[in-house]
């Protein structure tokens, strides 16, 4: 990635931070949230049956949309802990019009059983909503940022400018069943991280749903002795706060 692209990304991030200081009428703010709790079958660097937790909150205030996400996986067998990972993410979008927005975000991940002790990415860029109907919705975003990761053995810090891209697609089969698919790419000099999660949600009530999800995570250049790909299958009970 060139210094010119990095400079543009930092300028975009600075613009997002400045705009976030603009006053917004408190009455315009609106919160929504979703929590998921379930069981897990994992494969890759660890294989176990365990539990998972996902929390998501969205705040809409005028042209601003703030999204907060937290996810955790924990597993143990008769001898020891076999999987332990948690991830936190925040992204703020500022609407330029009905279809376009600028964003700034931060993602942090800590995975005890991967080759990386932790990975963090600070990003900024542009997003676009291609279409939104009662049946289908598709949006994408593209930007640049700064990525830092610390390997476990040996302990080394890898830092570089990164290219960030994601696609978010939703399809409603009917009023109670939906398909969700989100793909993310973080391209960096030392390692490129790819993640795709596909989920099917079936509503049981206006607030409760059952969700089955399959997630694939891939690091192109992990530390030696670690697998490049991990998969995660979850069956969750979902509670939605509107």
CA distance 151 to 222: 9
CB 200 within 8 A of CB 214: no
pLDDT at 41: 64
Question: Which tokens hold the place of 91?
Answer: 């992204």
CA distance 81 to 73: 11
Stretch 5-14: mean pLDDT: 49
CA distance 97 to 101: 7
CATH number for the domain whose boundaries are 3-22+29-241? 2.40.128.130
CA distance 197 to 230: 12
Lowest mean pLDDT among 38-42, 45-49, 144-148, 217-221: 45-49
CA distance 19 to 66: 13
Residue of 38 and 48 predicted with greater confidence: 38
Percentage with pLDDT > 90 across the chain? 58
Lowest mean pLDDT among 72-81, 88-97, 206-215: 72-81
What residues does each domain of the chain span?
3-22+29-241
Dihedral of CA 29/60/63/6: which sign?
Answer: positive
CB 178 within 8 A of CB 211: no
Question: Which tokens hold the place of 60?
Answer: 């809409």
Q: Tokens 């991830």 map to which residue?
A: 87
pLDDT band at 21 (very low <50, low <70, confident <90, very high): very low
CA distance 165 to 144: 8
CA dihedral 177, 211, 231, 53 (to 10 degrees): 150
Q: Is 42 helix (H, G, I), strand (E, B) or coil?
A: strand
């Amino acid at each position: 990635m060139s210094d010119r692209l990095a400079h543009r990304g930092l300028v975009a991030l600075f613009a997002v931070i400045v705009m976030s200081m603009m006053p917004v009428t408190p009455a315009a703010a609106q919160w929504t949230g979703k929590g998921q709790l379930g069981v897990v079958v994992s494969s890759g660097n660890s294989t176990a049956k365990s539990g998972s937790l996902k929390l998501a909150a969205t705040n809409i205030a005028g042209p601003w949309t703030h999204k907060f996400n937290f996810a955790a996986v924990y597993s143990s067998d008769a001898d020891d802990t076999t999987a332990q990972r948690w991830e936190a993410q925040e992204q703020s979008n500022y609407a330029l019009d009905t279809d376009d927005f600028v964003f700034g975000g931060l993602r942090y991940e800590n995975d005890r059983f991967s080759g990386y002790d932790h990975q963090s990415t600070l990003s900024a860029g542009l997003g676009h909503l291609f279409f939104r109907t009662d049946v289908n919705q598709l949006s994408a975003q593209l930007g640049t940022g700064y990525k830092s990761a610390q390997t476990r053995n040996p302990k080394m810090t890898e830092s570089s400018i990164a290219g960030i891209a994601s696609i978010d697609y939703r399809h409603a089969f009917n009023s109670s069943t939906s398909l969700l698919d989100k793909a993310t790419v973080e391209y960096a000099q030392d390692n490129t991280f790819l993640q795709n999660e596909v989920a099917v949600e079936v509503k049981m009530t206006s607030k409760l749903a059952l969700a089955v999800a399959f997630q694939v995570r891939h690091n192109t250049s992990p530390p030696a002795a670690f697998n490049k790909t991990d998969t995660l299958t979850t069956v969750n009970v979902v509670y939605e706060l509107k």
